[in-house]
Amino acid sequence: MTVKERVRIGGRSARIQSAVHDAVRKLGALSTRNQITVPQIAAEAGVTPSTIYRRWGDLSALLADVAVARLRPIADPDDTGAVETDLRAFIEQYAEEMSSPVGQALMRDVLSALKEGLPSACAGFTCDHLTTLNARAKARGETPFDIDEVIDHVVAPIIYRALFSEQIPTPDYCNRLIDRIYLPARKRRTAV
């Protein structure tokens, strides 16, 4: 009587999950973000609506589940050879993704769900990437940056602008944000 796995992972269950996710992505791509319904998704995925309701609860929970899966990183950020350029390259790509219409919609889907923990999971993805960059830095003998500082003063402004204003952050803007992380240290070092 093992009480280990109480949820089914393989076979049909996984096939349905994949089909439903694919259907959401396909329907979300066209039909510019309006009027997507559970019966529509079910038909596209070749599944009964009741299956979706039982597994995900409601539309917003399903959209959030798909959004988190799409926001989950599939690869480590590029290795440019040095921490600072690693960080600049990562942030530039991150800002572009999150400010795009798709990225904005994914964030809204995650935030709209009543499920607790999904938004913090997404923040965790970003934190993981920054930790990876720092691990590389340490392996190279470089001094790592302060992750919380980058989140507060580089990531947060980018996300705030993406969510609450219409303007997209330019690469130049991103670099100015990162300057605030690196320039003070340099000034202090050269001044003292």
Residue closer to a second copy, measured from CB, 17 or 40: 40
Number of residues that bind a second copy (CB under 8 A): 29
Angle 61-64-70 from CA coordinates, rounded to 5°: 145
Q: How many whole angstroms separate alpha carbon 19 and alpha carbon 43?
A: 11
Residue 149 contacts by C-beta under 8 Å, 6 or more apart in sequence?
181
| Residue 18 contact partner, candidates DNA, a second copy, none, CB within 5 to 8 A by sort of partner | none
3-state secondary structure 59-106: HHHHHHHHHHHHHCCCCCCCCCCCHHHHHHHHHHHHHHHHHCHHHHHH
Q: How many whole angstroms separate alpha carbon 6 and alpha carbon 43?
A: 28
CA distances (Å), origin 175, targets 35, 76, 93, 130: 38, 21, 12, 16
Interactions with DNA, residue window 37-76 (CB under 7 A) = 37-40, 46-51, 53-55, 57-59
| Residue 55 contact partner, candidates DNA, a second copy, none, CB within 5 to 8 A by sort of partner | DNA
Burial of 24 (0-12, 13-18, 19+ CB in 10 A): buried
Interactions with a second copy, residue window 51-70 (CB under 8 A) = 60
112 binds a second copy (CB under 8 A): yes
165 binds a second copy (CB under 8 A): yes
Interactions with a second copy, residue window 141-160 (CB under 8 A) = 151-153, 155-157, 159-160
Residue closer to DNA, measured from CB, 18 or 175: 18
Interactions with DNA, residue window 77-116 (CB under 7 A) = none
1 binds DNA (CB under 7 A): yes
19 binds a second copy (CB under 8 A): no
Of the candidate spans 23-31, 77-85, 95-103, 111-119, the one that interacts with a second copy by CB under 8 A turns out to be 111-119
